[in-house]
Every structure is written in structure tokens, then in C-alpha cells.
């Protein structure tokens, strides 16, 4: 079986998939954490690997940037590859003053300025929310590991360079961090009756100007990866 975006065969991809945005981060995770990892997709450079972690089959696949890309890959994984759980592991920008560089955020729900949900033909925009079971496990696991996490609402936006300058207003609404993929993932999971969770590491603070380097984004955000793998 294959799609225009994925040349993996049926059975090549595990029931649980970790999805970083960056293909190189997927490669890094597979090499560092998985046993007997096999490259199962390389169409458009969106690498996917399947291996084992603690004797469980796990896949890691890049999602690319933004909701259209996440929308395509998560849709195909849920609908064509029988994937049950997708855990996004990516970077985010801090919005709340309580969230600092390298902190881990679990996305309880996702506000969005995207029209992605219009396809469902509903009279209003549905809530984009994480799967409770994955969220609960991730929160419990983080506590057991001694990793402090923030649990709350994300802002999922279509624009990285945004001239509207509304982050201060979203901060007043209790948003913890902003990123670009969670809403599409949560909508696709809800529509297919599958499970999804977004776990993010804070890579920059748009309201203060602080940021991590590209190398740090790629290789040093291991706490969120450890949490994700532990609940896979």
C-alpha cells in the first residue's frame, strides 16, 4: 500500500506514531532511541522509521510545517495505515509568562485561526482537543520522571511571521504557547475516532525575543521525546 505522500507498505508503520515536524529530528530520534529502526518512507524527504522501544513497536515520522502538511500525513496514517495514536513532538513559542525556554507543554486543547475545520460543514468551529487518555498518561509519566510540564491551551496558527501582533491578547485568554500543527492533528483524530496529543518544547519566547539555536531545536529536546516514548 502507498499514497502520493507515503511509500510505506501496510504493516510497516506501528499503531503509535511520534511526529516531529523536522525530518532530521525523526532520524535523530530513531537512531538514539529505537532498536532495529528501519526507514519505511522517504517520499518528499518526510522520513518515517519503525523500530522498537521497550519491546513495543513504535514509528517516528516527520509531519513537515503547518496544518496542511500535518493534515495530510496524519489523515493518511489514521485512515490508510491503521494508526491508532499520533503524538506530535515539536517546538512552540511561549505565550504565557509562566512558560520558559525548554519547558515542556502538553496541549490540552488548541485554539486556531485556521479554516481547516470548515471542511466538516459544521455551523461553528469545533473544539480541537487532545485525547484524555494520552494526556493523562503523559502528565502522570512526566511526574514519575521528575519532569515539570505545563498543561493547557495552545494557539495553532497558519502564520509564523504574523503582522497582526495578537499574542498579547491570546496571553490574556490563558494560552500557554503557540505552534502550527496541533489543531489539524486534533481535528483529524476526532473525525476518525483515533487518539492524538501534542507535546511541545519551548524553543523561543516571541514576546521577549529569547530563542534556542537551530541545533538545540534538532537535538536537545529530549524530555518531550522520553515522555512520548514512555506512553507509546
C-beta separation of 154 from 177 below 8 A: yes
In a domain, 7, yes or no: no
In a domain, 10, yes or no: no
The whole-number pLDDT of residue 113 equals: 93
CATH number at residue 30: 3.40.50.1580
The three-state DSSP-derived secondary structure of the chain is CCECCECCCCCCCCCEEEECCCHHHHHHHHHHHCEEEEEEECHHHCCEEEEEECCEEEEEECCCCCHHHHHHHHHHHHHHCCCCEEEEEEEEEECCCCCCCCCEEEEEEEEECCCHHHHHCCCCCCCEECCHHHHHHHHHHHHHHCCCEEEEEEEECCCCCCCCCCHHHHHHCCCCEEECCHHHHHHHHHHHCCEEEEEEEEEEECCCCEECCHHHHHHCCHHHHHHHHHHC
In a domain, 78, yes or no: yes
The catalytic residue positions are 204
In a domain, 5, yes or no: no
pTM: 0.95
Domain boundaries, position 135: 16-231
In a domain, 106, yes or no: yes
> What does pLDDT average to in each consecutive run of 10 residues of the chain (232 residues)?
84 97 95 96 93 97 97 97 97 95 96 94 94 98 96 96 89 97 98 98 90 70 94 94
The whole-number pLDDT of residue 45 equals: 86
Domains contained in the chain, number: 1
For residue range 98-151, what is the model confidence (pLDDT) as tens digits? 999 999 999 999 999 999 999 999 999 999 999 999 999 999 999 999 999 999
In a domain, 144, yes or no: yes
The whole-number pLDDT of residue 55 equals: 95
C-beta separation of 80 from 49 below 8 A: no
Cα distance between residue 198 and residue 153, in whole Å: 11
The whole-number pLDDT of residue 108 equals: 98
In a domain, 2, yes or no: no
Cα distance between residue 175 and residue 26, in whole Å: 27
β-bridge mates for residue 88, sequence order: 19, 198
The whole-number pLDDT of residue 95 equals: 96
In a domain, 130, yes or no: yes
Amino acid at each position: 500500500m502507498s499514497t502520493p505522500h507515503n511509500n510505506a507498505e501496510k504493516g510497516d508503520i506501528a499503531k503509535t506514531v511520534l511526529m516531529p515536524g523536522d525530518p532530521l529530528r525523526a532520524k535523530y530520534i530513531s537512531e538514539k532511541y529505537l532498536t532495529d529502526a528501519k526507514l519505511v518512507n522517504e517520499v518528499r524527504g518526510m522520513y518515517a522509521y519503525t523500530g522498537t522501544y521497550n519491546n513495543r513497536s513504535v514509528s517516528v515520522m516527520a509531519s513537515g510545517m503547518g496544518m496542511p502538511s500535518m493534515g495530510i500525513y496524519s489523515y493518511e496514517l489514521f485512515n490508510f495505515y491503521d494508526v491508532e495514536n499520533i503524538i506530535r513532538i515539536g517546538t512552540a513559542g511561549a505565550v504565557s509568562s509562566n512558560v520558559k525556554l525548554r519547558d515542556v507543554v502538553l496541549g490540552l486543547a488548541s485554539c486556531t485561526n485556521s479554516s481547516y475545520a470548515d471542511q466538516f460543514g459544521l455551523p461553528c468551529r469545533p473544539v480541537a482537543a487532545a485525547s484524555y487518555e494520552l494526556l493523562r498518561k503523559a502528565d502522570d509519566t512526566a511526574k514519575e520522571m521528575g519532569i515539570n510540564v505545563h498543561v493547557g491551551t495552545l494557539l495553532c496558527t497558519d502564520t509564523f511571521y504574523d503582522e497582526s501582533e495578537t499574542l498579547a491578547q491570546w496571553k490574556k485568554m490563558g494560552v500557554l504557547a503557540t505552534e502550527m500543527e496541533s489543531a489539524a492533528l486534533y481535528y483529524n483524530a476526532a473525525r476518525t475516532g483515533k487518539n492524538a496529543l501534542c507535546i511541545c518544547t519551548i524553543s523561543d519566547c516571541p514576546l521577549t525575543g529569547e530563542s534556542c539555536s537551530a541545533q538545540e531545536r534538532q537535538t536537545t529536546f529530549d524530555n518531550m521525546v522520553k515522555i512520548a516514548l514512555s506512553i507509546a
